[in-house]
A and B are shown apart, each in its own frame.
Chain A
Amino acid sequence: AQKITQTQPGMFVQEKEAVTLDCTYDTSDPSYGLFWYKQPSSGEMIFLIYQGSYDQQNATEGRYSLNFQKARKSANLVISASQLGDSAMYFCAMREPNNAGNMLTFGGGTRLMVKP
């Protein structure tokens, strides 16, 4: 079974509007970490935001916020006031405890395209 599912292969958003990128996850551990990365066309992976399963509040970093709904096992990324530079691939990832290598498991990604 997929541990991280991103159901939107591609999305369009108008510049200056907000957009939500979906991410659902599957784990039986009560403790886990959720990450979002951005991959622009240049190819590098840029860390955006982190949410811990026990964090009381939803994570925010500038224009990025994480809509964390634990009961639904979803960790959607919200980008406010979209900019042309937000056009990129976005990956959701999870780290589970008892993970000898501290590795991240990634979803398939969502390609976001911002229209001027």
Chain B
Amino acid sequence: NAGVTQTPKFRVLKTGQSMTLLCAQDMNHEYMYWYRQDPGMGLRLIHYSVGEGTTAKGEVPDGYNVSRLKKQNFLLGLESAAPSQTSVYFCASSEKLAGGPLHGELFFGEGSRLTVL
């Protein structure tokens, strides 16, 4: 049972290069998220998606783009990487919680460590 899978796990980029992080989930979840984790700042939401074909900005969206062409996949792109984007990136997914309780945890991937030189 894979859950949430992120690729690649590690990547080193030079300033100005582009790359795409892939997230795949096999739990048929409606909602998917990309967070970045930086020391002392916890996890901050970059972008999220509430369903196939939809995306929305989170707290720190600048410099990133996302796409959700298939329900199970959520891609995070960096068009022109900057050293400030050196971070650990986490993808997560959750069930749709339309109305009702606020319970329902996020299921996370193992993280992708990106270094921009």
Contacts and interface: CB of A to CB of B under 8 A. Distances in A.
A104 B108 contact: no
Given A102-B94, A103-B33, A95 B102 contact: yes
A90 to B, nearest CB: 11
Given A35-B105, A44-B108, A52-B102, A9 B40 contact: yes
Contacts of A43: 88, 110-111
Q: Categorize the interface residue count of chain A.
A: 20 to 34
- Of the listed residues A50, A101, A106, the one surrounded by the most CB atoms of chain B closer than 10 A to its CB is A101
A106 B101 contact: no
Interface of B: 31, 33, 35, 40-45, 48-50, 56, 58, 88, 90, 92, 94, 96-97, 101-108, 110-111
Interface of A: 4, 6, 9, 31-33, 35, 42-45, 47, 50, 52-53, 91, 93, 95-97, 100-109
Closest 7 CB pairs of A and B: A33-B102, A45-B108, A106-B42, A47-B105, A101-B48, A106-B43, A108-B42
